[in-house]
Chains A and B, each alone.
Chain A
Amino acid sequence: MLSFVARRIATGVALVLIVTAITFALVFASGSNIAANILGENATADQIAAKQSELGLDRALPIQYFDWLTSALGGDLGSSYFTGEQVWGALATRVPVTVSLVVFAMLLIVIVSVAAGVLAARRGGKVDSAVQMVSVVGFALPSYWIALVLVLLIAIPMPKVFPPTGYVPLSESVWGWLGTATLPALALAIGGIGAVSQQIRGSMLDVLRLDYIRTLRSRGISPRSIFYRHALRNAAGPALTVLSLQLIGMLGGVIIIERVFALPGIGVLASSAALRGDIPVVMGTVAFTVLVVVFVNLLVDILQGVLNPKVRIDV
């Protein structure tokens, strides 16, 4: 297991290097645009050239990337070209917002999907059809549209309970956080619930047909125990994979939700920085996102081994 983890970490590091290098090349390809964006539309050509030189944008790209990388490895991600804020500081402020939102959404997905998928598999018939239909609709609706509807139907009429914009940290107030995070998390989760519940339903039906389930029934094991203790565990593997893909997809999709609800998360930070060429912030958010993806994939692999000993990696 340890060597497996070490290999995955090494792969993750290589992935971070490749993605950040490609990102760096893409955003730094035109140094003059960055300087012009910083200085604004009144800037003269001389000013732009001076700003380029000041920021080192006139150096060769590999040298610029190497400088950024060595600084980043030393813990210095630089400062925003526009606000002067340290990138680490910006991430420290924004990451908890997005993480809390994504975790909340994932919890909703897990709880509702398991309940819906198992219900559909157990009851079958009209219940199964209804769950499938709702899942498909939820999967098909874009999260942006869902967010707008939630704001219109719930937040606007009840702004003191569900403020349509803004964020209250969990550390400041649990109820305040719930008020500001519930609707965004719902908007994020509904599509995922559709996908994961379908996966759980299908996996459960497959598992329930297996011989060992019949054996368990013949031994008088309670249906509840058969479903939740035996069948679900074996059915969870594929769902876990879908869940991890949902989480990774959320890191991109959260941008839109954060904009609609004006949440100060990393998604809005990254998109704003990209639009105005705030390169240190862009690189910091990209590096963070890649690390999250690597970590999530590693975690899923380990959890798969926990759920199903057959797929465990031997030391």
Chain B
Amino acid sequence: MSIRKIALAVACAVALAACGAPDRTGGDSDDSRLTVGVTAESGSFDPTGLKSSPGTAVQFWAPVYDTLLLRAPDGEIVPNMADFSYDDTSTILTLTLREGLLFADGTPITGASVVQSMDRFRNGGGPDAVYLADVDSIEAPTDLEVVLTMTEPDPGLVYALSSAAGAVANPAEFGNPNLALEPAESGAYTLDAARTVVGVEYTYVRNPSYWNPEAWPYDEIVLKILLDPTARINALRSGQVDATVIDAQSTAEMETLGFDVTLQSSSWEGLLLLDRGGDVSPALADPRVRQAINMSFNRSEIAQYLMLDTVEPNSQVFQETASAYVDGSEYTYDPDRARALMAEAGYADGFRLTMPSVGVISYLEPVIRDSLSQIGISARFDAVPADQVNSLLYERSYAASPYRFTQDAPWMDFTRHVFPDAPMNPFGTETPELDALLDAVRFAKPDERDTAEEEVGRYLFDNAWYAPLYNSSMLIGHIGSVDVVPQTGLNILPIQNYGRSAR
């Protein structure tokens, strides 16, 4: 056979195959199984090592560990395994377990087992143990009650109990040396070890002992770790996954191909202005300089031209739906006013600002450099290894930094970057006014807390603690038969928010 005929035959075969490319946008998927392409590595299943948001680790443990409380899609904390109530001082939290709860091995979940699980968690030295640090005691006065006692109120406690700190593990499994790989299951699913390859693919099958199967519509969940964005797109296009994270540049293409794209608002991106005391960069001690920095950015153009309209301009670090968000407060783009503020502060000639180059958002560096140069600030970025950025910030090596900061409930965000001992307040910025505002939140009655949190947000905004540019979203590409419900207050979409579409 001649080469020409062979080539023609191959071309025809390819053309026929291309014509037969599967339509993955609709209902030819297996309705009983959900396959999701996830973006990062898993963590340990050892309960002490469980991590809550931020991070993707929660996707891996949430199917197998049920939590005492739940964060609803609108961000509110609602009962899950237990109902909850505070006493009048908000220092005693009583959790009342549902009747008939069972671990995956069929043994009952009691108050005593919850206490054992929580004690092990908070004494285990894990990353999230700090969320129970203010709890003085955890006791089970009855089989169905668990009482947490604190010296002073902790508004973040119920949020913590909706995540890792509230994940209930089976104490009977605590002696298992392979607990990191073999979860002590209490959740809607069990891990199918035979079809799980650590770091590659995790398969979960429905737990027949679970109390609320209606909340988890799929009989089987498969999480595939797909680190490369191109691989994720290809997997979605070819039908290997039902949903996965895509990048902004692929959104139009995926929508053209008939896939749905859901935005999961997750983070803000911009500048952390950490050195508000002027230890490293004296200029940043003046709020007028920090305000000027905020006014030097044209947020709407950045969102439109750099981020292709996939982000929402925002000059506050909280989402608009958050209680700490101050309606109507924004820093408009006004370089003239910014220069005037710089001059008032004594920095008419500007100053040099050195920051670390943060790899995941290095695309912001030209914008930051150009914007700040308008007001005389010469921005320079040091090349640092990605895994050293946080450590260098903790060590106060830099006065400011570009950053992508995940957004949580306001109180949780306060604990992460507002309190004087917060990890991302390395210079320990503290004022009597702010202390009073934070105390007001801590001791507020439930119906007054939103107002108190808004006052903290107002303080942070007025004093320009940060220079956020926009809220960024995680883009979830998915087939039409999978419904994706965005989640408020978490950076990662819980697996529970994937459901069957009515279509």
Contacts and interface: CB of A to CB of B under 8 A. Distances in A.
Interface of A: 30, 32-34, 36-45, 47-48, 50-51, 54, 79, 82-85, 89-90, 93, 148, 151, 153-161, 163-166, 259-262, 264, 268-269, 272, 275-277
20 contacts: A36-B394, A51-B125, A82-B42, A83-B42, A83-B180, A83-B181, A84-B180, A90-B199, A148-B230, A156-B237, A156-B238, A158-B18, A160-B22, A164-B234, A164-B240, A259-B231, A260-B228, A262-B235, A272-B41, A272-B199
Nearest to B388: A33
B17 to A, nearest CB: 5
B130 A44 contact: yes
Most B CB contacts (10 A, CB to CB) among A54, A93, A160, A262 go to A262
A47 B130 contact: yes
Contacts of B54: 40-41
Given A84-B178, A148-B230, A261-B231, 7 more contacts: A38-B127, A42-B128, A83-B199, A165-B235, A166-B240, A262-B226, A272-B41
B198 A262 contact: no
B201 to A, nearest CB: 8
Interface stretch (B206-214, B309-317, B416-424, B461-469): B416-424
B257 to A, nearest CB: 10
A40 B127 contact: yes
Nearest to A40: B127
Most A CB contacts (10 A, CB to CB) among B45, B385, B387 go to B387
Main secondary structure of the interface of B (DSSP, over half): loop
Contacts of A40: 51, 54-55, 127
Contact of A163 (B42, B240, B386): B240
Contact of B231 (A33, A79, A164): A164
Nearest to B22: A159
A262 B199 CA distance: 11
A88 B51 CA distance: 25
B391 interface: yes
A84 B44 contact: yes
Interface in B250-267: none
A261 B201 CA distance: 14
A56 B49 CA distance: 18
B224 interface: yes
A32 B388 CA distance: 9
B164 to A, nearest CB: 11
B43 A82 contact: yes
A253 B130 CA distance: 42
B149 interface: no
A29 to B, nearest CB: 10
Interface of B: 14, 17-18, 20-22, 41-46, 49, 51, 54-55, 125-130, 178-181, 197-201, 224-228, 230-231, 234-235, 237-240, 385-388, 390-391, 394, 416, 421, 423-424
Contacts of B394: 36, 45, 48
A269 B199 contact: yes
Given A43-B423, A159-B239, A166-B240, A33 B387 contact: yes
A148 B228 CA distance: 12
Contacts of B128: 42
The 8 closest A-B pairs by CB, nearest first: A84-B180, A159-B238, A164-B234, A157-B18, A264-B200, A39-B127, A259-B228, A262-B231
Contacts of B224: 165-166, 262
B424 A164 contact: no
Most A CB contacts (10 A, CB to CB) among B17, B49, B423 go to B423
A41 B55 CA distance: 9
B227 A268 contact: yes
Given A41-B54, A84-B44, A159-B238, A165 B17 contact: no
B387 to A, nearest CB: 5
A164 B238 contact: yes
Nearest to A154: B14
A41 B175 CA distance: 29
B487 to A, nearest CB: 19
B477 to A, nearest CB: 14
Contacts of B388: 30, 33
A156 B227 CA distance: 18
A165 B231 contact: yes
Contacts of B416: 41-42
B405 to A, nearest CB: 9
A33 B392 CA distance: 9
B185 to A, nearest CB: 16
A163 B125 contact: no
Contacts of A264: 197, 199-201
B292 to A, nearest CB: 28
Contact of A259 (B198, B227, B386, B387): B227
Contacts of A151: 230, 234
Contact of B198 (A36, A83, A163, A165): A83
A311 B197 CA distance: 46
B24 to A, nearest CB: 9
Contact of A54 (B49, B125, B201, B385): B125
A163 B238 contact: yes
A165 B233 CA distance: 10
B131 to A, nearest CB: 8
B21 A156 contact: yes
Given A33-B388, A157-B17, A159-B239, A165 B234 contact: yes
Contacts of B180: 79, 83-85
B423 A90 contact: no
A275 B385 CA distance: 9
A93 B193 CA distance: 14
A258 to B, nearest CB: 9
A159 B240 contact: yes
Contacts of A164: 231, 234-235, 237-238, 240
A82 B41 contact: yes
